């Protein structure tokens, strides 16, 4: 327990240390054991003693963990996608995922004692002659064991705090330690009654859930809503001052940052900067459709601004009647330049959920999960987002090459013709449609295999118990115990250039373009073609209906196809059990770009792709309004899994009150009139980023927005740093 902290509970012996979970995999750990400290980014330092311990246990776990069993289940027809890494599945076999928020409101109100009581009551009603009751009996026993373990975990910190208090010479700190000891002996087993008890209870659960699953994107849900009654009561009765509550919040965010996980080198390419995606959501609307901003909303905003850390992610739910002063404060925090808060739009997200049969009161209670994904906290099934980063540009090249991947030279699809033989754009579009539908089907097969293996091997008992209504159904969250269960697919990169220059204006022949792509635009003749593609082809992000509609048309094939395939929890209890689209690519645009040859928009081989639904770097020339208009043409009502949009501005751009108000008006227009889903800002100059790359010692505290999360700039790989530097700087003039 850290000196001066007001909260207890740690994941490891030292902050930011990360445990190894051999039940998931030991394969990459052993392969990279001597390489972790030599990485370009996401470095870990491992002692020789720890290395020896890992070598000793590794043989037991060989072919005896989730990765081994998941790979054994893979059908032959999809093995090529795992071998080539085309779906970006690395992290899902090596670690847990989560992408959810548990029912913190109920945990605080009932305590784990209330959950224990419910479990015992349901267990007592079982008819064990019914075969299904045997599974329920085992589940209930497991829940009782885990709840007792959580209580013991908290009690150990109670004893530790008391021991420290007895040795403490500073009287003020002694009193703090004794209070920590009292609280840890009470929560989370008993209901919380004070704000400090509530914060400690939430932290214990947040921490232990990640110890249980090695997951990420375990989010706090609507923190300002379920915590406000405790804050309001303590403020009114004089139990706590605002400054004391602020200190508790900063302690919570510092604790949140201490959680870490080990990823393979390949996985760090899509999760650069060691993110844990722990999202805190504030503002939005109440269930009765009123503005939900309260005093704690402001205090959370202030505390995150004060700590300026990469965790937690802070998301503000915007709606047309949001408190104006609160929105002003959000822009002030954005000016600090650490990529928060991100903004999600109630005006599109709530109706979208209701279209998927989510009850109105639950839709109004949604929160951000992980990056930009959304779900109903405490009621959503395991993993609200998908596992497959389908690389659209790579699939386009595959389409143009009759189903054979250019990078690996392996067949991905049946093949629907060669680009050089396609005499019309309609032929190419038809081949694309067939390719993307076939690839989507393969991605679903792989996801289902991993989910089935995970369901059996790592059931996440505590997470299940704290999600409605796994206890009533007697099922884990991975078996369909939650109220709702939807997951989204993920896509990486958008390109469009072929129709105009090849098929309409005929400035480039099909063979010339194909040869230039294979040559990576290296010869003088092909460099001219590259220049033409970059300068003369219309680009997404400029409010050009011609190219924007091409993007929509190409993307619709995926949206329509993904909806056909249920997930592994379909017809097992939850509402939904199906898939929808999402564009949260995290930093996979860099890693996926490193495995993608040159593309028809003039991009060179192995360079980053566009991230999320954002335009390719420096292709958006007409300002932020044009970007917003282009993005709004996507079917955001169907892309419920999240529509990630990154924007970058210089600090000078927001230095005047006039420009800050312009930004607010721009955001309001994007959300109210154009029905945008999400936007987030990097407020940092290109010059600062370049200097930080050259002189990292001068910029140790520089934080940037990578994708749906923020990270310290200096811990990112050079590829990811270059990707952020290359983003377009927008102007409000």
> What is the set of active-site residues?
371, 373
Would you say 24 and 93 are in contact if contact means Cβ atoms under 8 Å apart?
yes
Residue 91: exposed, middle, or buried by beta-carbon count in 10 A (0-12, 13-18, 19+)? buried
CA distances from 696 to 119, 651, 682 (A): 53, 20, 19
**Rg of the Cα trace of the chain?**
26
Q: Could you write out the three-class secondary structure of 633-676? A: CCCCCCCCCCCCCEEEECHHHHCCHHHHHHHHHHHHHHHHHCCC
Which residues does 336 contact at the CB level (< 8 Å), separation at least 6? 305, 308, 683
CA distances from 620 to 227, 491, 626, 647 (A): 42, 20, 8, 11
User: How far apart are alpha carbons 692 and 678 in whole angstroms?
Assistant: 28
User: How far apart are alpha carbons 414 and 668 in whole angstroms?
Assistant: 46
User: How far apart are alpha carbons 372 and 343 in whole angstroms?
Assistant: 9
Would you say 270 and 595 are in contact if contact means Cβ atoms under 8 Å apart?
no
User: How far apart are alpha carbons 388 and 440 in whole angstroms?
Assistant: 9
User: How far apart are alpha carbons 178 and 429 in whole angstroms?
Assistant: 69
| Other Cβ atoms within 10 Å of 433 Cβ, number | 19
Q: Could you write out the three-class secondary structure of 251-287? A: HHHHHHHHCCCCCCHHHHCCCCCCCCCCEEEEECECC
Which residues does 39 contact at the CB level (< 8 Å), separation at least 6? 265, 268, 717
Task: Name the residue with tokens 């400690």.
Answer: 200
Residue 264 falls in which region: left (phi positive, over 0), alpha (psi -120 to 50) or beta: beta
| Of 223, 217, 225, 482, the residue nearest 374 (C-alpha) | 217
Would you say 137 and 128 are in contact if contact means Cβ atoms under 8 Å apart?
yes
User: How far apart are alpha carbons 511 and 420 in whole angstroms?
Assistant: 5
For the chain, the residue count is: 733
Task: Locate the DSSP E strands across 310-445.
Answer: 313-318, 342-345, 367-369, 373-375, 385-391
Would you say 364 and 289 are in contact if contact means Cβ atoms under 8 Å apart?
yes
Task: Locate the DSSP E strands across 606-662.
Answer: 646-649
Task: Name the residue with tokens 């910190």.
Answer: 157
Q: Alpha helix (H) ranges present in 193-239?
A: 195-213, 223-226, 228-237
User: How far apart are alpha carbons 722 and 71 in whole angstroms?
Assistant: 34
In the chain the first and final C-alpha atoms are separated, in Å, by 50
Task: Name the residue with tokens 């091997």.
Answer: 457
Which residues does 7 contact at the CB level (< 8 Å), separation at least 6? 180, 199, 200, 203, 248, 251, 252, 255
Q: Which two tokens stand for residue 500?
A: 């105009």
| Of 273, 309, 267, the residue nearest 28 (C-alpha) | 267
CA 110 to chain centre: 29
Residue 490: exposed, middle, or buried by beta-carbon count in 10 A (0-12, 13-18, 19+)? buried
């Amino acid at each position: 327990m850290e000196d001066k902290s007001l909260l207890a509970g740690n994941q490891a012996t030292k902050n930011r240390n990360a445990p190894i979970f051999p039940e998931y995999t030991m394969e990459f750990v052993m392969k990279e054991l001597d390489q972790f400290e030599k990485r370009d980014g996401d470095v870990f330092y491992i002692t020789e003693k720890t290395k020896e311990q890992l070598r000793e246990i590794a043989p037991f776990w060989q072919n005896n963990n989730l990765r081994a069993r998941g790979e054994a289940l893979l059908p032959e027809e999809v093995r090529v996608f795992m071998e080539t890494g085309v779906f970006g599945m690395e992290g899902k076999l090596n670690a847990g995922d989560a992408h959810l928020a548990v029912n913190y409101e109920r945990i605080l109100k009932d305590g784990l004692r209330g959950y224990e009581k419910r479990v015992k009551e349901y267990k007592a009603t079982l008819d064990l002659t019914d075969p299904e009751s045997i599974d329920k009996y085992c589940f209930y026993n497991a829940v009782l064991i885990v709840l007792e373990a959580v209580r013991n975990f908290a009690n150990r910190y109670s004893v530790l705090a008391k021991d420290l208090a007895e040795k403490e010479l500073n009287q003020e700190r002694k009193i703090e330690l004794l209070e920590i000891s009292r609280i840890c002996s009470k929560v989370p087993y008993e209901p919380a009654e004070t704000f400090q008890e509530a914060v400690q209870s939430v932290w214990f659960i947040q921490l232990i859930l990640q110890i249980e699953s090695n997951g990420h994107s375990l989010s706090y849900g609507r923190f300002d809503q379920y915590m406000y009654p405790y804050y309001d009561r303590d403020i009114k009765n004089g139990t706590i001052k605002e400054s004391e509550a602020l200190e508790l919040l900063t302690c919570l965010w510092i604790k949140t940052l201490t959680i870490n996980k080990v990823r393979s080198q390949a996985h760090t390419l899509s999760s650069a900067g060691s993110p844990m995606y722990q999202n805190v959501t504030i503002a939005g609307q109440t269930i009765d459709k009123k503005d939900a901003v309260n005093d704690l909303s402001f205090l959370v905003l202030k505390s995150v601004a004060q700590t300026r850390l990469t965790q937690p992610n802070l998301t503000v739910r915007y709606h047309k009647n949001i408190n104006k002063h609160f929105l002003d404060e959000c822009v002030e925090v954005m000016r600090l330049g650490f990529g928060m808060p991100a903004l999600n739009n109630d005006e599109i997200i709530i109706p979208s959920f209701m279209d998927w049969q989510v009850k109105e009161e639950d839709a109004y209670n949604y929160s951000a999960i992980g990056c930009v994904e959304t779900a109903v906290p405490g009621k959503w099934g395991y993993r609200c987002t998908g596992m497959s980063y389908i690389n659209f540009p790579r699939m386009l090249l595959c389409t143009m090459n009759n189903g054979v991947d250019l990078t690996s030279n392996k067949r991905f699809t049946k093949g629907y013709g060669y680009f050089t033989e396609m005499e019309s754009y309609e032929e190419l579009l038809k081949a694309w449609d067939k390719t993307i539908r076939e690839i989507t089907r393969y991605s679903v097969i792989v996801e289902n295999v991993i989910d089935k293996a995970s369901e059996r091997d790592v059931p996440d008992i505590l997470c299940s118990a704290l999600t409605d209504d796994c206890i009533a159904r007697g099922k884990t969250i991975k078996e369909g115990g939650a109220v709702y269960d939807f997951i989204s697919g993920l896509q990486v990169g958008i390109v469009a250039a072929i129709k105009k220059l090849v098929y309409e204006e005929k400035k480039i022949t099909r063979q010339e373009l194909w040869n230039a792509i294979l040559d990576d635009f290296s010869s003088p003749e092909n460099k001219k073609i590259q220049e033409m593609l970059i300068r003369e082809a219309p680009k997404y992000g400029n409010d050009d209906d011609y190219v924007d509609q091409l993007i929509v048309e190409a993307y619709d094939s995926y949206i329509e196809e993904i909806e056909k395939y249920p997930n592994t929890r379909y017809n097992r209890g939850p509402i939904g059990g199906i898939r929808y689209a999402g564009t949260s690519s995290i930093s996979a645009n860099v890693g996926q770009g490193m495995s993608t040859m040159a593309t028809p928009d003039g991009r060179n081989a192995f360079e980053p792709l566009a991230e999320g639904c954002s335009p390719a770097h420096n292709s958006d020339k007409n300002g932020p309004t044009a970007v917003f208009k282009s993005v709004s043409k996507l079917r955001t009502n169907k892309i419920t899994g999240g529509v990630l949009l990154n924007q970058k501005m210089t600090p000078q751009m927001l230095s005047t009150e006039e420009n800050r108000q312009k930004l607010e008006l721009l955001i309001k227009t994007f959300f109210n009139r154009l029905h945008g889903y999400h936007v987030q800002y990097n407020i940092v100059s290109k010059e600062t980023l370049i200097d930080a790359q050259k002189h990292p010692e001068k910029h140790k505290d520089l934080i940037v927005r990578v994708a749906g999360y923020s990270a310290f700039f200096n811990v990112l790989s050079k590829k990811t740093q270059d990707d952020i530097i290359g983003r377009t700087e927008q102007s409000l003039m």
